[in-house]
Amino acid sequence: MSAKKKDKSSAETMVKKEREVSKAKLIPVHIMGKRYDVPEGLTLMKAMEYAGYKFIRGCGCRGGTCGACGTVYRKPGDYRLQVALACQKTIEPDMHITQIPFFPANRAHYEFADLTSAPEEVFKLYPELFRCVACNACTKACPQGIEVMDAVSALKQGNITVAAQIGFECIQCGLCTSRCFGELVQYHMFQLARRIYGARITPRAEHLIEMTKAIDEGRFDNTLEKLRHMSEEELKELYRKREEEPVTAGEDWRPKDKTYL
């Protein structure tokens, strides 16, 4: 497809989407204290953009994995302050929303190479850990559904492994910190726990050590050099003819040609 045709197709798609949006029912929403009428069914982020806001920060993946679009909101008739990711939460009539793309939180400075797997490493860097009052407000604020308080409790008990496993899906949005009565910085603590767990506690994979050694010894240099000089079509053909791993294969599956293993 030519560039001109691509541009035309893209423009037509955009026009079609704009027409669909224009036909949608408009509902009132309050953004940063000002009322706007926006099409129902939009996410908070898309509603803000429809209202004229342009994101220069506070918008990243748009898929709920980067944690850049933390938002606080209240619904009419509900006294509770609630939190969500703007790219995930759908707009509701008369919502009052304010985005907080970054919540202030101090991060401890350390030389990771000097850290051990001792629980005291976390205690020393984040002494506020023991200010946790077990209110569970952090868990209620987590858009990932992480049992944040349980991970904090694990750290207080010195169990870095459990804390790292519970907090594995943390996306660093900071919403837990925004609701913490003890003013902890949970997401920075979990990041440290995951780093210590990955580098100091998890057993080293023997096959990875062997493969790294083989690379350092130049075992694959000739193969890589050969691939570098192949044309695009040759590379595609090589890819098409590769032996594919069966969908039902077990962990012990190996290709017949073990040249590159």
User: Among 68, 71, 100, which Cα is nearest to 83's?
Assistant: 71
d(CA 108, CA 122) in angstroms, rounded, equals 10
- Asked if residue 90 has pLDDT above 50, the reply is yes
Residues 195 and 118 in one domain: yes
Residues 220 and 196 in one domain: no
pLDDT for 206-235, tens place per residue? Answer: 888 898 999 999 999 999 999 999 999 999
Residues 216 and 197 in one domain: no
- Asked if residue 76 has pLDDT above 50, the reply is yes
Q: Label residue 64 left, alpha or beta by phi (over 0 means left) and psi (-120 to 50 means alpha).
A: left
CA angle 134, 80, 84 (to 5 degrees): 80
Instruction: Tell whether 5 is covered by a domain.
Output: no
* pLDDT the model gives residue 1: 46
* pLDDT the model gives residue 2: 47
Residues 91 and 68 in one domain: yes
Q: How confident is the model at residue 175 (pLDDT cuts 50, 70, 90)?
A: very high
**Residue where one domain finishes, among candidates 99, 133, 165:** 99
User: How many structural domains is the chain composed of?
Assistant: 3
Mean pLDDT of 189-210: 93
Residues 129 and 178 in one domain: yes
The whole domain housing 65 covers 22-99
Q: How confident is the model at residue 56 (pLDDT cuts 50, 70, 90)?
A: confident
Instruction: Tell whether 132 is covered by a domain.
Output: yes
Q: How confident is the model at residue 187 (pLDDT cuts 50, 70, 90)?
A: very high
Instruction: Tell whether 136 is covered by a domain.
Output: yes
Contact 24, 39 (CB under 8 A): yes
Instruction: Tell whether 58 is covered by a domain.
Output: yes
Cβ neighbours of residue 123 closer than 8 Å, sequence gap 6 or more: 129, 130
Instruction: Tell whether 9 is covered by a domain.
Output: no
Instruction: Tell whether 138 is covered by a domain.
Output: yes
Q: How confident is the model at residue 72 (pLDDT cuts 50, 70, 90)?
A: very high
Mean pLDDT of 44-60: 91
Helix or strand run (H / E) with residue 71: strand 70-74
pLDDT for 14-45, tens place per residue? Answer: 555 555 555 779 999 999 999 999 999 999 99
CATH code for the domain in which residue 73 is found: 3.10.20.30
Instruction: Tell whether 125 is covered by a domain.
Output: yes
Q: Average pLDDT of the chain? A: 89
Residues 35 and 95 in one domain: yes
Residues 196 and 216 in one domain: no
More confident residue, 93 or 10: 93
d(CA 223, CA 200) in angstroms, rounded, equals 34
- Asked if residue 261 has pLDDT above 90, the reply is no
* pLDDT the model gives residue 12: 60
Instruction: Tell whether 2 is covered by a domain.
Output: no
